[in-house]
Every structure is written in structure tokens, then in C-alpha cells.
Amino acid sequence: MLPIFYQTYLQKNLNLAEYLLLQILINLLQSIKKVSLETLATSLPIPIFFESRRKKIQRFLLLPNLSIEKVWFPIVITWLSIYFEREKIIYIVIDRTNWSRINLFMVSVVWDKRAFPVYFSLLPKLGNSNLDEQTKILSKVLPLFENYKICVLGDREFCSIKLANWLTQNNIYFCLRLKKNHFVEVKKDIWLELKQVGLSPGASLFFQGVKVTKTQGFFSFNVACKWKRKRLGIAPKEGWFILTNLETLELAIAAYKRRFDIEEMFRDFKKGGYNLEDTNVSGERLITLILLIAIAYTSATITGQKIKRQGVQKYVGRVKEYGRTQRRHSSFYIGLYGQTWVNFMEPCKDLVTQLIKLTRNKYCFYQRGLFHRQGHR
């Protein structure tokens, strides 16, 4: 079941037939976890020829009203108002992922140890994005956050001094990872490459109000340097050098750590969840398909949070595991596979009833599980 505020905006922009087909496709994504056109057409439970089902999905993916701006942005705005406080910083991650001939630029918000996709665009080339592409995409997204404090996080691809300047001019916090061959002015007219500043495993440094690169005409920034200490005799191969306008080392490092939550989201979109890499669509159809995944993904996360609040996640997956310091399953996993558990029980209802009758000593436990299943539905 989609959250109510999702339904409101989807019904507003789609006619009834389109809205019903969208719900069917979302249910398919949650059940079969595959987004290839052939697989979706094979599984689509509409009694028409296979080729007709395939063309129906193709036409649906080109609906003009099923766009990020018309459907997804209103949902994002409502989601922000429900789950975020205006006084606290929202962390926005910009990143890029690619497979085959696809090069996807993604803007997302860090949320619940994952990332909530906000905007996504196909780059018309392979390889890194450039400043124009980055600022153009960010300009589409920033109005959604006009009432919030935000901090943009990006890896070394996005660590352009010009991008840092642009973010500063727009009063936006940022943490962008520098390459170790960047120069920093440690004293007046004394420049060092970052790899020469003396950072070592277990050490940290913070340069405040310094110039980065020898090019003229840029603001002064802070540079937070951190190299994780050795654990079990092993240390990371290199440290972090973070270009930032946050005020302390601790704030900058804590913020940048959140960037890696988008990697979990990409894993969920790909082999760890919906198998996006196996799709055979491209262009506008691919963007719409990713929009459907975003709806399914975030809806599953919200459902997973609800299951956790009810305290019944143990019916879906293993909650605790000896020796683990972090939770085993994300809210996305709990929501996704919780729905799978409910859906698969329905066709097995008669078999389950017979099984329960054969194990009367477990009857009270079965009844409790059925009660929670009905509550989940």
C-alpha cells in the first residue's frame, strides 16, 4: 500500500486507468524485484497477449504527466515536511553511477541509513560530470529546500573549487572530497600538496580559512583532514581531505560520512534490490522506470519504519545477530520483504491452515503471526 500522500499526488496527475496500472507495476516491482521490460510484461496480470502487455508498459513509461517535476517533487516536499525539522541540517548527496552505456546523475537526501532519491538525470556522455551539469541539476533541486538548511556532500568527482564557490554564493553548506594532489596555502605564499601536510593513520588536521589551488579569484575555505587509525593492524590506504565551509573538523567528518549512504541506495536499486542494471529500456522510459523504483523504494522504507515501530519486524527477518554492532536489515529491507511475506501467504492460505491444524501446540503463535500480518496489510 502506497502512503496516503503518495496516492494524493499520483491520483491528481494520472487518470484512473493510469493510476491503477501504476499501482499494479509497483506491486510487481516489490514482488519480482526485476525491472526488465520483458520480465514486467511476463508478470503483468492483465489478460491480454504478451506483446500487448509489453506495448502497454512501453506507452505507460512515456506518459507526459508521469514526470519527476509533476509527480515526484510534490511528494518530496510533503515528505520533507513530515520527516525533517527546519532547524536541523539536511544532507544532500550528489553522485553518479553507470552501467553499460547508461550514465546516471543522482541527487538524494540522507535518510534512515539510506538515501531518498530526489532527482535523477541521464548524462549525454560517459565519464565524469562537469560544473555546468552539476549546477544545472542542483538548480532544479534547491527550490525544494528553500525553507531548510542543507549541506551538499560529494566525492572527488565533484570537488571543484568553482562548485564550492557556487554553493557558497547560494548560502549552502558543503563537504567535498579533495584529491591529495590539490595545493593548500598553509602560510602566506607557502603552498603544499595535501599529500605533503603530514597526515598519517590515526591523525587529523583542520586548516581554517585557507586558499585551495593557486588560482586567483576564489573564496577561502576550510579543509578537514582525517585518516582512520589502524584496526587489527590494518589502516585505510589513504586519508580524507574534505573541502568545507563547516566550522569544525568534527562537523565536517561526521557530515561526509553520511555520503556513503547513497552507495547503499545504489546497491538497493541494482543487484541488492530491483536489478536496475538488467533493464533494457533507455532515455525517457528509463527515467520513468527509475521514478517507479523511487516510489517503490521509498514506500517500502516508510512501510519498514512502520513495521519497526509496531515491533513486529521479527516476523520478517532476523533482528539480532551475535557479534554485529549494526542492525542487520534496513527499513527498506523490512518493508520490501514484509510485503513479500504477506503476499505469498495469500495463495498458500489453505496449506497454512492445514499445517496449523497439525501442530496444535503452536496454534497461539500462529494466531499471533496472522494478527500481525493482517495489521501489516
Q: Is residue 371 part of a domain?
A: yes
Please indicate, yes or no, whether residues 254 and 366 belong to a single structural domain of this protein. Answer: no
pLDDT above 60: residue 324: no
In tens, the pLDDT along 19-60 reads 999 999 998 898 888 899 999 999 998 989 999 999 999 999
What's 139's domain CATH number? 3.90.350.10
What is the number of domains present in the chain? 2
In this prediction the pTM is 0.84
Residue 119 confidence class, pLDDT cut points 50, 70, 90: very high
Residue 312 confidence class, pLDDT cut points 50, 70, 90: very low
pLDDT, position 351: 59
Query: Which residue, 265, 297, 324, sits at the end of a domain?
Result: 265
Please indicate, yes or no, whether residues 127 and 241 belong to a single structural domain of this protein. Answer: yes
DSSP structure class, residue 69: I
How confident is the prediction for the chain on average, in pLDDT? 85
Query: Which residue, 241, 265, 289, sits at the end of a domain?
Result: 265
Question: Parallel, antiparallel, or unpaired: how do β-strands 114-122 and 190-193 relate?
Answer: unpaired
pLDDT above 70: residue 365: no
Q: Is residue 261 part of a domain?
A: yes
In tens, the pLDDT along 90-109 reads 999 999 999 988 999 999 99
Please indicate, yes or no, whether residues 87 and 196 belong to a single structural domain of this protein. Answer: yes
Please indicate, yes or no, whether residues 161 and 231 belong to a single structural domain of this protein. Answer: yes
Q: Is residue 139 part of a domain?
A: yes
pLDDT, position 325: 45
Report how far residue 158's alpha carbon sits from residue 177's, in angstroms, rounded to the nearest whole number: 8
Higher per-residue pLDDT: 322 or 178: 178
pLDDT, position 333: 54
Residue 113 confidence class, pLDDT cut points 50, 70, 90: confident
Q: Is residue 302 part of a domain?
A: no
Please indicate, yes or no, whether residues 352 and 251 belong to a single structural domain of this protein. Answer: no
Contact present, 239 and 227 (Cβ < 8 Å)? yes
Q: Which of 71-80, 216-225, 303-312 has the highest mean pLDDT?
A: 71-80
pLDDT above 70: residue 177: yes
Over range 314-336, report the average pLDDT. 51
Q: Is residue 101 part of a domain?
A: yes
Report how far residue 60's alpha carbon sits from residue 201's, in angstroms, rounded to the nearest whole number: 53
pLDDT above 90: residue 171: yes
CA distances from 156 to 96, 170, 179, 193, 203 (A): 11, 21, 6, 16, 21
pLDDT, position 322: 46
pLDDT above 70: residue 115: yes
Residue 306 confidence class, pLDDT cut points 50, 70, 90: confident
Residue 341 confidence class, pLDDT cut points 50, 70, 90: very low
**Type of residue found at 338:** G
CA distances from 48 to 41, 51, 53, 54, 61 (A): 10, 8, 6, 10, 18
For residue 217, the SS3 value is coil
Please indicate, yes or no, whether residues 229 and 326 belong to a single structural domain of this protein. Answer: no
pLDDT, position 367: 64
Please indicate, yes or no, whether residues 205 and 327 belong to a single structural domain of this protein. Answer: no
Higher per-residue pLDDT: 189 or 226: 226
Please indicate, yes or no, whether residues 127 and 201 belong to a single structural domain of this protein. Answer: yes
In tens, the pLDDT along 147-161 reads 999 999 999 999 888
Higher per-residue pLDDT: 370 or 242: 242
Share of the chain above pLDDT 90, in %: 59
Query: From the DSSP assignment, how many helices (H) and strands (E) are in the chain?
Result: 13, 10
Q: Is residue 364 part of a domain?
A: yes
Contact present, 60 and 21 (Cβ < 8 Å)? yes
Please indicate, yes or no, whether residues 140 and 204 belong to a single structural domain of this protein. Answer: yes
pLDDT, position 314: 53
Please indicate, yes or no, whether residues 261 and 314 belong to a single structural domain of this protein. Answer: no
Q: Is residue 53 part of a domain?
A: no
pLDDT above 70: residue 69: yes
Please indicate, yes or no, whether residues 84 and 193 belong to a single structural domain of this protein. Answer: yes
Q: Is residue 89 part of a domain?
A: yes
Domain assignment of residue 352, given as a range: 309-376
Over range 189-216, report the average pLDDT. 88
Residue 217 confidence class, pLDDT cut points 50, 70, 90: low
Please indicate, yes or no, whether residues 251 and 320 belong to a single structural domain of this protein. Answer: no
Query: Which residue, 230, 265, 300, sits at the end of a domain?
Result: 265
Share of the chain above pLDDT 70, in %: 80
Residue 234 confidence class, pLDDT cut points 50, 70, 90: confident
